[in-house]
Amino acid sequence: MAEHKRKKNSQNIKHTKQKKIRSNTKKLYTVSIALPGSIIDNAQSIELKTYLAGQLARSFAIFNVDEIVIFNELGMQKSSQSQIDSHTKNKREEGISSDPNVFLARILQYLETPQYLRKELFPVHQDLTYAGLLNPLDCPHHVRKEEKSPFREGVIINKKSGGETSLVNAGLSKHVIIDKSIKPGVRVTLDMGNYETSKNDNQYIEAKVISPKVPKQHGLYWGYNIRIADSISKVFTECSYPDGYDVAIGTSERGKVVDDIIDDLPEFNHLLIVFGGLGGIEAAIDVDEDLKCSGEEADALFDLWVNTCPNQGSRTIRTEEAVLITMSALRVAINIKGRKEN
């Protein structure tokens, strides 16, 4: 019994030290992953398509990915970012999205959203019919009702609070009040302060609206953003960051073995890792009219052209498998070379 208590105390001390280290180190870098939505079409049914998207979402969360870029590798139809949110809450759409990019984006967005916000943020849609099959991400921003957290996600509700204030559903037993007037239905990130010490007779819990970047700077993984690109070239040209991606990695079985170039990864602020579909990145480049190079010259677009699974025992590696393999191989290097502030 005494030995069990010592082990438990040792684990608690270790956990406390880890929390302090994480909270004192500000993460300044981001990791983005780009992949084609066409991989969803490889699944034969909506159940399998849904589960495949869920597998990808789990991988992104496990490896703290900040941005997912879904690109069209077919060079035909154009996908619109607004398609994901174009349906009203009172209308059920018939049939799943014909565009695999939109389908994948919707499932990823649904899973990233805390459970207590989904009813208000997601209209009924056929793409989400089998959402019950999905394994939860259980990220730090998916805070439980009674869990104490310095930050929370919430959604502005359509209820008057008086003056220049708004009420927020943050998954707590009481609504949260903020000192800004924001239209209902908008998702916000909240700094909860020391809300746990609030008096029980307070009608609302007071909090402040902050940037979603703030929790990440304090060492907490706070989910991912999703962007749809109409081609692989627009993954780069429509970058969400003003200065673009300063390091881009392309994955290919024709690339250099990852073990040989892991030390070549330079320090970075914004890292992009690109995966191809059935035909690889080369196929997406061949159909992109905005690129002058051919698929055979694909490595010229990237700072590093990497084979993360040399001597593979299967003729093919599926994209969802490639994501796990690549992120595992690069995890330590990313953590070392990503810029941080102590």
Range of the domain at 186: 151-212
pTM: 0.86
Q: Which of 212, 240, 258 is the last residue of a domain?
A: 212
Query: How many Cβ atoms from other residues are within 10 Å of residue 169's Cβ?
Result: 17
Give the residue among 64, 67, 26 at the shortest CA–CA distance from 241.
Answer: 67
Q: How far apart are the first and last CA of the chain?
A: 40
Q: Are residues 162 and 125 part of one domain?
A: no
Q: Are residues 271 and 165 part of one domain?
A: no
Q: Which of 212, 245, 262 is the last residue of a domain?
A: 212
pLDDT score of 197: 45
Asked, for residue 175, whether it belongs to a domain, the answer is: yes
Asked, for residue 85, whether it belongs to a domain, the answer is: no
- Please give the tally of structural domains in the chain: 2
Biggest CA–CA distance in the chain, Å, is: 70
Asked, for residue 1, whether it belongs to a domain, the answer is: no
Asked, for residue 39, whether it belongs to a domain, the answer is: yes
Q: Are residues 287 and 235 part of one domain?
A: yes
Q: Are residues 165 and 118 part of one domain?
A: no
pLDDT score of 189: 97
Q: What is the CATH number of the domain that holds 194?
A: 2.40.50.140
Q: Which of 212, 237, 265 is the last residue of a domain?
A: 212
pLDDT score of 80: 53
Q: Are residues 175 and 264 part of one domain?
A: no
* Rounded mean pLDDT for each run of 10 residues along the chain, 342 residues in total: 50 43 69 96 93 97 97 72 46 62 96 95 92 94 91 92 87 91 94 67 87 91 96 95 96 90 91 93 91 84 93 90 96 92 72
Give the residue among 213, 308, 309, 223 at the shortest CA–CA distance from 265.
Answer: 308
Q: Are residues 255 and 126 part of one domain?
A: yes
Structure-block tokens of residue 106: 């919707």
pLDDT score of 116: 94
Q: Are residues 35 and 166 part of one domain?
A: no
pLDDT score of 190: 96
pLDDT score of 23: 47
Report the alpha-carbon angle 314-318-320, nearest 5.
135
pLDDT score of 244: 95
Q: Are residues 300 and 205 part of one domain?
A: no
Q: Are residues 237 and 206 part of one domain?
A: no
pLDDT score of 146: 83
pLDDT score of 297: 85
Asked, for residue 262, whether it belongs to a domain, the answer is: yes
Q: What is the CATH number of the domain that holds 308?
A: 3.40.1280.10
Give the residue among 104, 102, 125, 121 at the shortest CA–CA distance from 113.
Answer: 121
CB 100 within 8 A of CB 43: no
Asked, for residue 93, whether it belongs to a domain, the answer is: no
Distance CA 14, CA 159 (A): 44
Asked, for residue 228, whether it belongs to a domain, the answer is: yes
pLDDT score of 164: 84
Asked, for residue 86, whether it belongs to a domain, the answer is: no
Q: Are residues 199 and 245 part of one domain?
A: no
Structure-block tokens of residue 284: 């997406």
Distance CA 149, CA 141 (A): 9
Q: Are residues 168 and 63 part of one domain?
A: no
Q: Are residues 162 and 46 part of one domain?
A: no
